[in-house]
Chain A
Amino acid sequence: EPEVTQTPSHQVTQMGQEVILRCVPISNHLYFYWYRQILGQKVEFLVSFYNNEISEKSEIFDDQFSVERPDGSNFTLKIRSTKLEDSAMYFCASSVREEGSGELFFGEGSRLTVL
């Protein structure tokens, strides 16, 4: 069964450091997303990406965040200068289409711990 894969599964970093989280969406999917979940809290939308550009972003997704699809398979989330409050589980997701029967598939997440 096709799946969304994320690396690393867990990253520990010092405050102020840059972090790149990587995702390989399902191969025929066209829409890509990042969500995050702070421990014990709800899953929050960060950004959606289609046709090599951001289609929607939340207030959380400020100038410290960026996304990129550097090749035909990877989809990355970069946090330029991490803050303590960036500690969370980051989920990548992808779908064939935005609406209709386009089920959203999530990866297993990358846990980011900022010290």
Chain B
Amino acid sequence: GENVEQHPSTLSVQEGDSAVIKCTYSDSASNYFPWYKQELGKGPQLIIDIRSNVGEKKDQRIAVTLNKTAKHFSLHITETQPEDSAVYFCAASIRGNEKLTFGTGTRLTIIP
């Protein structure tokens, strides 16, 4: 089955700087790659997603890039703010929301 690796496990960034989280996946049939943000005591919340027919997608300060050949995708957060502090999970699936395989998570801390 699909295996998703995520790095780093923890990341501390000065407020205003950029943060990058990277994931690799194993199943070349995967075609849907969402990113979730999980705040303390809450469930994961979708922040951005990308499909395999697109190489990059941007939404304000958040962007995701996908390299299908190398089977990796990355989350980029620019101009980080304290409210960006959370655990971020990448995920992959062959068919939309069906059977998402999650990465191990990255705890992002924004230092004021």
Contacts and interface: CB of A to CB of B under 8 A. Distances in A.
Given A42-B89, A108-B41, A109-B43, A99 B99 contact: no
Given A98-B97, A99-B32, A99-B95, A106 B102 contact: no
- Could you say which interface size class chain B belongs to? 20 to 34
B43 A91 contact: yes
Interface string B91-105: 100011111111111
B97 A108 contact: no
Contacts of A109: 42-43
A106 B99 CA distance: 14
Contacts of B44: 43, 91, 106
Interface of A: 4, 31, 33, 35, 41-45, 48, 55-56, 58, 91, 93, 95, 97-100, 102-109
